Amino acid sequence: MTRQRYRKQQNALSPLEREMTNQRMKEKLKAGDAIDVSECPRVGAYYVLRKFIPDKDYCDAKAEAWIWSIGRRYRDGLVLASRAGDLYQNHDFECLWLR
């Protein structure tokens, strides 16, 4: 199987079905201790969360990247997740979660 075909096949599978490099992320997803936001709508670099659950880890399992900050935007109440810490100490957001 060619490398390109293998990657395409892996991308078609759910994060728990495919081979993940980040085994800790895979374990946390399988145990229900982490929430995958990869299918959430996006606003620029941010993921739009319909529901925020405290005491969970958040990640983009397709990109195998952890979410580092989650905040509620003051002007419209939209809850956004970021792969960076930029929603912490941001005057436009109430920081709800920080990794």
> Rg for the chain (alpha carbons), in Å?
15
Q: How far is CA 97 from the centre of its chain?
A: 13
Strands 34-36 and 57-60 turn out to be parallel
CA 93, 97, 98, 99 torsion-angle sign: negative
Q: pTM of the full predicted structure?
A: 0.81
Q: Which domain holds residue 92?
A: 3-98
Domains in the chain, number: 1
Per-residue pLDDT tens digits for 20-47: 999 999 999 999 999 999 999 999 999 9
How big, in percent rounded to 5, are the helix, strand and coil portions of the chain? 20, 30, 50
pLDDT at 60: 97
How far is the C-alpha of 93 from the C-alpha of 48, rounded, in Å? 14
pLDDT, the chain, mean: 90
